[in-house]
């Protein structure tokens, strides 16, 4: 019987499951959304029939229901060889993928204050799956791990020394699994090896980050101590003046309220006053809604500014890569971003951009472009499955 690897990716109110067989073949996948709400739902990919969840279903209940469905539908005919988990923040403790034991769980919990929206639910998923598969190896892949190759000049903040040595305040970076995948895929599509390829990778979704990759390694990135820093995102503000907190406090806004505003009520949602969904924003902008157009303009300009900043960490550039839900699927965002990069000589081919590079091995740049531009669908689940298989075998 074919051995399989099960991958678990718990978000703040959602989760994804993916089952991989031999040769990295994806057997099945599933998605649960709006967890902890009365309208929580789940689906198996390729099936329009929803999986029944209890009202207010938790991550644990959704995992139990989806694993049951995988078994009932004969998608998972035996217990998987290993279970791979995504965890957002590994702090200074976790610099690579690790096998899960009680000490690993404690370490993930200790990092929760650095990613309060993610690490607790990541840990809940691990505990739920360890209960379901207690005799199987569980492997954790950390979003921050890939960025531990950042040089000190890139990860240190200009703060008193004890802030770093005693409290671990530094730039950690996130979306590392996606950026690592981009480093490998971009090299393959450009006919090079990862160790000789330098690209700027822009992961654009509800969360957004950009990374300078030099010879396959992360050397600079936009997210920092937490996933809040950097680019404009769906509901997160990205960079703001730290003096904003004193300004808000003087107006009676507590630290908790400011935290919620910057994480949940800002970004595309805050600027538009309507939605954090880029597709909806584009439709609203096309119908004359000025705040939505402004949200798109700020998003693209901030991204272009960071592309320029990332070049400071690279002696050469083999390509600019777009990935993530927005990066992969929005010709408009790619076009509006690149139009700010004329000084770098980057130009897009309108037809290739419209087709997301699907007819040109990912390339969407024009013949006159100084650097290649690629659209590459990310596959974080595949990376997690590969790491889980590697450590389980070891």
The catalytic residues are: 143
Q: CB neighbours (10 Å) of residue 335? A: 15
CA 195 to chain CA centroid, nearest Å = 23
Q: Kindly write down the DSSP assignment for every residue of 141-159, as one continuous string.
A: EETTGGGGG--HHHH--SS
Query: Torsion-angle region of residue 121: left (phi > 0), alpha (psi -120 to 50) or beta?
Result: alpha
CA pair distance 220, 299, nearest whole angstrom = 20
**CB under 8 Å to 72, separation ≥6 — which residues?**
none
**CB under 8 Å to 176, separation ≥6 — which residues?**
142, 143, 144, 145, 146, 147, 218
Q: CB neighbours (10 Å) of residue 93? A: 17
Residue linked to tokens 């693209």: 300
* Strand, helix or coil for residue 275: coil
Query: What does each C-alpha distance from 228 to 236, 238, 328 come to in angstroms?
Result: 6, 5, 22
Give 101's DSSP letter: -
CA pair distance 269, 237, nearest whole angstrom = 9
Nearest Cα to Cα of residue 147 among 170, 165, 166: 170
Q: In the structure encoding, which two tokens stand for residue 185, read together? A: 């895929």
As a residue count, the chain comes to 394
**CB under 8 Å to 229, separation ≥6 — which residues?**
171, 222, 223, 238, 239
Q: What stretch of H or E contains 220?
A: strand 217-221
**CB under 8 Å to 106, separation ≥6 — which residues?**
none
**Contact (CB, 8 A) for 306 and 210:** yes
CA pair distance 390, 231, nearest whole angstrom = 33
């Amino acid at each position: 019987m074919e051995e399989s690897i099960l991958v678990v990716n718990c978000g703040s109110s959602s989760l994804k499951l993916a089952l991989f067989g031999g040769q990295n073949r994806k057997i099945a996948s599933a998605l649960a959304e709006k967890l902890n709400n009365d309208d929580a739902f789940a689906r198996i990919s390729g099936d329009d029939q929803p999986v029944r969840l209890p009202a207010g279903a938790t991550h644990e209940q959704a995992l139990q229901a989806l694993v049951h469905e995988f078994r009932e539908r004969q998608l998972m005919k035996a217990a998987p060889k290993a279970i791979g988990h995504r965890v957002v923040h590994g702090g200074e403790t976790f610099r690579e993928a690790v096998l899960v034991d009680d000490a690993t769980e404690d370490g993930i919990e200790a990092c929760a204050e650095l990613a309060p929206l993610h690490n607790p639910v990541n840990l809940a998923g691990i505990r739920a799956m360890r209960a379901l598969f207690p005799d199987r190896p569980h492997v954790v892949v950390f979003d921050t791990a890939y960025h531990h190759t950042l040089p000190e000049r890139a990860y240190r903040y200009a703060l008193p020394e004890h802030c770093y040595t005693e409290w671990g305040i530094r730039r950690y970076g996130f979306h590392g699994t996606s950026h690592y995948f981009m480093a490998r895929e971009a090299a393959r599509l450009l006919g090079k090896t990862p160790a000789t390829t330098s690209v700027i990778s822009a992961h654009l979704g509800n969360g957004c980050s950009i990374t300078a990759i030099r010879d396959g390694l992360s050397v600079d990135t936009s997210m920092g101590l937490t996933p809040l820093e950097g680019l404009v995102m769906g509901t997160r503000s990205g960079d703001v003046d730290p003096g904003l907190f004193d300004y808000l406090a003087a107006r009676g806004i507590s630290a908790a309220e400011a935290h919620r505003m910057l994480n949940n009520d800002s970004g595309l949602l805050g600027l538009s006053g309507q939605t954090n969904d880029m597709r909806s924003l584009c439709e609203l902008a096309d119908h004359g809604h000025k705040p939505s157009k402004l949200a798109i303009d700020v998003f693209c300009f901030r991204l272009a500014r960071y592309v320029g900043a990332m070049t400071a960490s690279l002696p050469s550039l083999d390509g600019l890569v777009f990935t993530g839900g927005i990066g992969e699927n929005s010709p408009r965002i790619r076009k509006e971003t690149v139009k700010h990069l004329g000084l770098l000589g980057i130009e897009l081919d309108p037809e290739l951009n419209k087709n997301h590079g699907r007819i040109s091995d990912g390339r969407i740049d024009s013949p006159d472009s100084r650097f290649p531009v690629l659209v590459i669908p990310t596959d974080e689940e595949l990376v997690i499955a590969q790491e889980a298989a590697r450590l389980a075998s070891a």
